[in-house]
Amino acid sequence: MEKFYNDTNNPLRNQISYLIDAINKIEIAIYQTRTKLLEIQSIINLIALNYNKTKVDDKSYDLYDKPYVESWFQDNILHILIYDLPPHIKKIAGAYEYENAWQKNISKAILSLPDKPSFKQKCFCWIEFYCPANSCFRFDIDNHFVGVIIDALHKSYVIDDDNYEQLGIGVIGFSTNSSIYKTYAKISTIDNIYNIISTQPSNEIASKKHPIDNFNLGFW
């Protein structure tokens, strides 16, 4: 859209300008809404825990954290599945709180592993976006801040550093029949790179439902 706006001969520049301004306002509203949802869910968590502590264990409490994160370590590959897309790369209102939530929940999922990896040699992080095929939302793949995943890996001591000598990254997106946006990251040593790069979506990942869909606190 900005390409058409930058064309000085385009007779629709004024209309495109209004559209760009509207899109920016929508992005700001989305992050403000996400920030409020984080606040509301914290209140819900506390209410649930206080309502009946025998029914709400640590795992069920985690289900209401945004974004919900799963992780597992298998065949020298760290797998991280996040039921959301990373924050937008633009530093707009509400983005900072959401970036913090991503880093916190990814780190928490990694640190909870009984066999948490700590790679001492150069690594590669392969990231896949799983997007509903029927969604009208088509984003530029470089507009989402995958740095929150890398920062979480560093803070969780999975990697020693995230400079170019210690880490490489790759990103790809897939359209799926699922209605849920997901981000799936695989991290391993650089010599294992061919076992983590994918050119096709994983049917197992694409078909996964958010765990909260099958969870009931028991007091509604």
pLDDT tens figures, 164-187: 899 999 999 898 888 788 899 999
Q: Torsion angle, CA of 26/27/32/34, rounded to 10 degrees?
A: 110
pLDDT for residue 88 = 64
pLDDT for residue 171 = 92
Answer yes or no: do 39 and 69 share one domain.
no
User: Which tens digits make up the pLDDT trace of 47-65?
Assistant: 554 444 444 344 444 444 5
pLDDT for residue 59 = 43
- Is the predicted pLDDT of residue 92 greater than 60, yes or no? no
In a domain, 136, yes or no: yes
**141-156: average pLDDT:** 81
188 Cβ partners below 8 Å, 6+ apart? 76, 77, 78, 119, 123, 124, 195, 196
Count of positions (residues) in the chain: 220
**114-120: average pLDDT:** 89
User: Which tens digits make up the pLDDT trace of 100-112?
Assistant: 778 888 998 999 9
At which residue do the structure tokens 């969780």 appear? 156
- Of 76-80, 115-119, 133-137, 139-143, give the range with the top mean pLDDT: 76-80
- Domain range spanning residue 102? 65-209
Answer yes or no: do 9 and 29 share one domain.
yes
CA pair distance 218, 172, nearest whole angstrom: 39
- Is the predicted pLDDT of residue 97 greater than 80, yes or no? no
- pTM, 2 dp: 0.68
In a domain, 142, yes or no: yes
CA pair distance 166, 189, nearest whole angstrom: 10
Structural domain ending residue among the three candidates 35, 54, 73: 54
In the chain, the number of structural domains is 2
**In the chain, what is the greatest distance between 2 CA atoms, to the nearest angstrom?**
68
**124-147: average pLDDT:** 76
pLDDT for residue 64 = 44
Structural domain ending residue among the three candidates 27, 54, 81: 54
pLDDT for residue 51 = 47
CA pair distance 172, 141, nearest whole angstrom: 8
Answer yes or no: do 186 and 110 share one domain.
yes
**12-20: average pLDDT:** 75
- Is the predicted pLDDT of residue 77 greater than 90, yes or no? yes
CA pair distance 175, 190, nearest whole angstrom: 27
Answer yes or no: do 91 and 155 share one domain.
yes
pLDDT for residue 58 = 43
Choose among 191, 105, 94: nearest CA to 149.
Answer: 105
Q: Exposed (0-12), middle (13-18) or buried (19+): which is 208, by Cβ within 10 Å? A: middle
Amino acid at 105: N
In a domain, 215, yes or no: no
Choose among 127, 70, 126, 67: nearest CA to 100.
Answer: 67
- Is the predicted pLDDT of residue 127 greater than 80, yes or no? yes
Choose among 121, 126, 122, 117: nearest CA to 169.
Answer: 126
Query: 127: domain CATH number?
Result: 3.30.1330.70
Answer yes or no: do 71 and 50 share one domain.
no
Answer yes or no: do 89 and 147 share one domain.
yes
In a domain, 219, yes or no: no
In a domain, 163, yes or no: yes
- Average pLDDT over the chain reads 76
In a domain, 214, yes or no: no
